[in-house]
Structures are given as C-alpha cells and as structure tokens.
Amino acid sequence: MEQRIRLKIRPEIVICLFLILASGVVYLQVWNHDFVGYDDDGYVFENVRVQKGLTLDNAIWAFKTTQKSNWHPLTWLSHMLDVELFGLQPGRHHMTSVFFHILNSQLLFGIFSKMTGRVWQSGFVAAMFALHPLHVESVAWVSERKDVLAMFFWTLTLWSYARYVEQPRIKRYLPVVGLFALGLIAKPMLVTLPFVLLLLDFWPLSRIQFNGSNQDSVISGRRSSMGWLILEKTPLFILTLGSCFITFFAQAKGGAVGSSAIHPFPVKVANAFFSYLKYIQKMIWPDHLAVLYPHPGVIPVWQLTAAMVLLIGISFVAIRYLKQLPWLGVGWFWYLGTLVPVIGLVQVGVQGLADRYTYIPLTGLFIIIAWGVPKLMSGWRYRTIAISGICVVLFPILMATAWIQASYWQNSQKLFRHALDVTTDNYVIHNNLGFELAEIGRVDEAIKHYREAVRINPDFEIAYINLGKALLLQGKVDESIRFNQALLKIKPDYAGVHHNLGLVLLHKGEAEQAIFHFQEALRINNDYAEVYNSLGAARLSQGQIKQAISCFRQALRIKPDFYAAQENLSKLENLMKTDPKVKLKFN
C-alpha cells in the first residue's frame, strides 16, 4: 500500500518568508545609494562626534546634546555604532535601516497574531507596513533611522504588554516601562503609546468586555475598570510628559518650532485636518511622494469643511459601532492619535506634512482594512478566493511603486529633482538642489535654483546667503558685495547676510569692514556660533590674538561640536606655545 507523505507548511512561516523576500526586493537597491545632502550630513558624514564612532565620550554627548533640535540619544548611538562597524560606507548604513524595517514587520505580524489569533489578517497588516510606498522615506533615508529604531521598541513594548496582560505581575510590567523608555529616546513621537495600549485593552486584549464584542481575543486577561487601566499606566504617562517637555525644549532651542507669525494657529488647525485626509489619500493612491511638501498656508474653506465633516463622521461611526466592530474604533483612533505629535498643531519645520510621519500611524488604517474587508465580504460565496485575488494583485503593485520611490533616494540630485517634479513652490528644495550643484562646480545652474527659491519666498534668508556665496565662487567678488549690500538695504535684520558680506570683505582683505558686519550679525543674533568663528579669524588677521581666542571660545560655548572653531582655537593655542610670529591659515 502506497503511503503518501503530506508536508504541511505553517502559514506563519509562509508569511514571514514573504515579508523578508518582498522587502528585500524593494530595498536591497539601497546598498548602492549614497548619503543625501538633507540631514545626513548633520547626522552622519559631517558630524564630528558620529565620525569618531562609539566611544564613552561620544555616548555621554549623545545623552546631553539637543543637536538637530531633538533629544534622541539612542538614535545618535545607533549612527555611531554604524560608523564603528562600517566606517562611512553609505550602503551599509542604509542596510541597517532595512534590517530594522524587516524586523519591525516580523514583530508587527507576531504581536497581532498573538493578540488576535488571526494569522492571515495579521499577515496583511504586516505586509502593508513592510511594502507601502509611504514608508520608503523612513527606510531609505539614513537620517530617519529614528523611525525604524523607534518602531522596533514600539512593537517590543506591545509584545511585552501582551505578556503582562496574560499574567499581570510587576516583573512582567517592568519590561513594558523599560522598552517604552528606550523607544522615547530613539524618537519622542512614541509619546502616544500609552493611549494605544488603552485601545488595545478594549480590542483585541478584551480587558474591557462588552457583550457581543472582542471575539478575536486569544489572550485571557482579567477584566478591569477603565479607571484602573488608566492608573496602571501611570509610569508610562509620566515618561510621556517628561519626553514632551524635553522635546519641546530641544526643538525651541534649535529653532525648529515655527512661530505663530509664520503660521497662525487657525492655519495650523486647518492644515492638521487637511493632513489627516491627505495621508489617507496617499495611503490609497501613493503618487507624487516627495522628501518635502511645502506648507500649503491657508486652506480653502470648502476643503477644510469637507475634511472636518469626513473626519468627525468617521469618528462618530467608529464610536457608534464600537461594540459590534471594535477593530474599526481601535484602528481609527490609533491612526488619529499617533499622528497628533506630528500633525502640525505645534509647527516643526517648514513642511505641511511628511511621509515619514505615517510610519506608525498607518498601522491603524491597515487594521481597519484587514478586518473590514472580510467583514464586508462575509456573505460572499467565494470570499476567500476574492480576498486572495486582491492580495495577489495588490502586493506586487505596492512593491513596484515602493521600489520606484526608493530609487529616487539614490543620491541628492535625483531626490531633489524628483521632489521639484511632483511639488510646486518648493523653495527649500530649490535651495538644496542649488547647493548640491554648486558643490560639484555647476554654479550657473545653482544660481538659477537660488533665484527661484527667493522668488517663491522672498524671506528665505539661507537662499540669499547661498546666492551671495555662489557669486563669490564665480570670482565675482565685487558683484557679491553689491548683492549683499543691496539686500541689507531691504532686509537690514538678516544676520546671515551680514555674516556673508563680512566673509566676502574678509576674503578681499577689508578686515575692518568685515568686523563691522560680523558685529552687526551678532547684534541681531548673539548666539550665532559661525559668526563668532569668523570674527575670531578677522581679529587674528589684525594680530588681536586674545580677542580671537575669546571669539573662538564663545563659538564653542554656543556650539561645542563646531569643528572649524575647535581647529582654529587649537591652532592658535599651539601657535602661542611655539612662535607667535608664525602665521597659520584659519577657517
């Protein structure tokens, strides 16, 4: 009698392998990508601390610094470790982020499968997370290491919390607190996680039970009152408050928080409503994705009204059917809540929205789709075949779209040119592309982009500064001087332009006039480290050694990691120990 051996492959293994292989197809290309000239310089290849790798001194600095207008020491340590292991080879830095992204998708699948017992729905959520083009920015941009790192600790916190719910004990609760704390010091956007845990308490963990709801739960936890569940999370809320305070301080100190004079609060509120819908639209139809979307300013009344009505309407439905469709409420409020820190009510930067902000929030919408579509098709005879067919078509499309989007991150020029192709009035990217072109000697093209930047935004100081420098690169010293002088007649309070003019005059040998403009720049902005460094060089050119030393030290007091000032001060101190008459070239 012939015996047949049937090999049964567990669906969990199939899903995990798919997540790895599909993500690899999309992201292995980043091995050949460069760093980009948008934050990667400050985070890695021009950061003196990071370039030295992982040392005790650098680790201490990581916990003390608010550089890049954030306090995220774990992110700094991650970049330092990469340099320690791989040097400044960009491909390997990129692959670290890819590794975390793949790991995050696996963890997301594991935790939802554990909590709900629904393997295929959990696999769908994880696959959408792994392959959606909106997540490319978080993975393909080295500077966004904080996203993949924070998500890693987010999912580990959820996993630990699920274990705690099974057997509520202090020793099982401590890892929840510890992992949450690690996530916060990777990226403070995780402050909403305690609220998400309250959502998960309702569904799928069933810690709050309503008749006829929460059928998906496979973790048996003790039913508790809402008051107790909130009290239980007190340590997490304390960490959230502390992180919010530190983050606001760091961003205000770094000048990242936009003033109400630039965007009045009603404009911020309108953009917040608009952005919620814009992210949903980009999730459904991910086209025209860019590294930076200019702030839209005033939103048309009809668009704002439509956005408010739709968001409030969906929220009402989610609450109305909370018992019957718990996954709808949990997914929807996961999405709304986790976007709050970055939705723009406190404006950070010049963008109106950003793809990277969706890395955690979109999971809520993926939950709604994963449980909602089977519910809608519950009466269909061939439901399983139909859903399988949708996935067979959907995932290759997402992979192809994500692959194309990741290819734009190959280098700075390709990234910025694509952004200009798919956005309008993007003055920041015009300036950035101009800078990249000037760096490779294509100054004429750079000047065109600088002029376009200031045409779009006449108050964009850095573009004026770069335009003046570009004229100097062309050898047009006198024209650069006239340009900066004319600009100061219109905008006399531009500290950067005073600094720029001073540098040109110093280059020309007119130290006295240069010093005047450096002092004017400091009058406008007394915490301008670069100006102190330039003033020190000007003082030194006049033989005023003590004053020069004082300027270099002041620059380092403001900006302790200012490499040029460190080098100048070191040269000068060594000079004084040997022969004060020896002349050195200063930066």
pLDDT at 465: 87
Task: Find, among 223, 113, 110, the residue nearest to 165 by Cα.
Answer: 223
Reported pTM: 0.90
What whole-number distance in Å separates Cα of residue 316 and Cα of residue 369? 18
* Contact assessment for residue 296 and residue 274, using Cβ atoms and an 8 Å cutoff: yes
List own/partner pairs for 192-197 with CB under 8 A and 24 or more apart.
Answer: 192/240, 192/337, 192/338, 192/340, 192/341, 193/154, 193/157, 193/236, 193/240, 194/233, 194/236, 194/237, 194/240, 195/337, 196/334, 196/337, 196/338, 197/158, 197/161, 197/233, 197/236
Tokens 């929807």 identify what position?
332
Query: For the chain, how big is the Rg over CA atoms in Å?
Result: 27
Overall size of the chain counted in residues: 587
| Backbone angles phi and psi of 377, in degrees to 5 | -95, 15
3-class SS at 70?
coil
Would strands 293-294 and 351-353 be described as parallel, antiparallel, or unpaired? antiparallel
For helices 362-376 and 326-339, the axis angle rounded to 10 degrees is: 160
Tokens of 240: 């959230």
Q: Distance between CA 121 and CA 114 in Å, rounded?
A: 12
Predicted pLDDT of residue 474: 86
Of 496, 513, 494, 497, the C-alpha closest to 505 is: 513
CA angle 449, 450, 454 (to 5 degrees): 115
- Coil vs helix vs strand at 312: helix
Nearest to 505 by CA among 517, 520, 487: 517
**Phi, psi at 60, each rounded to 5°:** -60, -45
Query: Identity (one letter) of the amino acid at 191?
Result: V
Q: How many Cβ atoms are within 10 Å of 10's Cβ, its own excluded?
A: 9
Give the Cα separation of 154 and 176 in Å (integer). 10
Those residues of the chain that have pLDDT short of 50 are: 1-3, 5, 211-215, 259-261, 582-583
**Cβ contacts of 221 within 8 Å, gap of 6 or more:** 165, 166, 168, 205, 206, 207
pLDDT of res. 2: 45
- Rounded to 5 degrees, φ, ψ at 351 are -75, 155
- Distance CA(370)–CA(475), nearest Å, equals 61
Instruction: Report whether the peptide linkage leading into residue 204 is cis, meaning its omega lies within 30 degrees of zero.
Output: yes
Closest CA to 197 of 172, 222, 164: 164
Is residue 352 within a helix (H) or strand (E), and if so which, with residue range? strand 351-353
C-alpha distances (whole Å) from 568 to each of 63, 511, 563 are: 27, 18, 9
